[in-house]
Amino acid sequence: MTFSLLHATDFADRLLYKIIPPLKAGMIVLADRYAYTAFSRDTTRGVDRQWVRELYSFAVRPDLALYFRTPIEVSVDRLMARRVKLKFYEAGLDMGWSSNPVESFRLFQGKVLSEYDRIVEEFGLQVIDAAGSITEQQRMVRQLVAPHLATSPVEMSDEQPVA
């Protein structure tokens, strides 16, 4: 619960100073790891689901929330290709499920993914297959975002660079 409170405090600060002002000015805000991350991560760590939802009840409900669903083995492969060592809390080593960081990551993040899958319908998350290519993911994101921008998705060729 202490971690939940610390993360919620950080989130409240970001919401108050980095999200709400641009929204009030009519801007579009993209936020990585919104309150849904806390719902999944904190519940996996044993915090009561309802308590976490109430803790974040001040959060603005987004017009669109994307969930990039990635199979655990794909996550492990991507992380191991980018860095030498997994972070302690990211790997769930604090939970004591395994002393092996990679195995602990698989166990912890697997449970986090299960929690995300559980909240998809509850919060209307749009699921994107993040195991697909960047181009496929980009197309899907454009299709989902376009109605919120009152434009049509930009067609991409295979030659076009992806932002």
Question: What whole-number distance in Å separates Cα of residue 4 and Cα of residue 61?
Answer: 19
CA separation for the pair 142, 135 (Å, rounded): 11
Q: Which of 60, 90, 106 is the last residue of a domain?
A: 60
Task: Note the pLDDT of residue 151.
Answer: 52
Poorest-pLDDT segment among 16-25, 59-68, 95-104, 149-158: 149-158
Confidence check: pLDDT of 29 > 70: yes
Please count the structural domains in the chain.
2
Residue numbers of the domain that contains 95: 65-155
Q: Do 42 and 111 fall within a single domain?
A: no
Query: In this structure, are 30 and 99 located in the same domain?
Result: no
Q: Single out the residue in 44, 60, 76 at which a domain terminates.
A: 60
Q: Is 163 domain-assigned?
A: no
What is residue 150's DSSP assignment?
T
48 and 71 in one domain?
no
Predicted local confidence at residue 161, as pLDDT? 46
146 shares a domain with 127: yes
* 52-78: average pLDDT: 93
Quick one: average pLDDT of 100-126? Answer: 95
Q: Report the range of poorest mean pLDDT among 1-15, 82-96, 133-147.
A: 82-96
Angstrom distance (rounded) from CA 55 to CA 35: 10
Asked whether residue 7 falls in the same domain as residue 38, the answer is: yes
The predicted-structure confidence for 148-160, as pLDDT tens digits, reads as follows 987 555 555 554 5
> Is residue 49 in a domain?
yes
* Percent of the residues in the chain that have a pLDDT greater than 70, as a whole number: 91
* Closest alpha carbon to 55 in 38, 67, 40, 41: 38
Beta bridge mates, 67:
127
29: tokens are 């805000």
Indicate left, alpha or beta for 91 from its phi (over 0: left) and psi (-120 to 50: alpha): alpha
Question: Does some domain include residue 32?
Answer: yes
Is the per-residue pLDDT at 55 higher than 70?
Answer: yes
pLDDT of residue 122: 94
Give 152 or 41, the one with higher predicted confidence.
41
For residue 115, CA distances in Å to 45, 91, 129 come to: 11, 16, 16
Q: Which of 60, 87, 111 is the last residue of a domain?
A: 60
Query: Across residues 105-115, what is the average pLDDT?
Result: 94
pLDDT score of 64 more than 90: yes
Tell me, yes or no, whether 83 and 32 share the same domain. Answer: no
Q: Please give the model's pTM, rounded to 2 decimal places.
A: 0.80
pLDDT at 78: 85
Q: How many Cβ atoms from other residues are within 10 Å of residue 136's Cβ?
A: 13
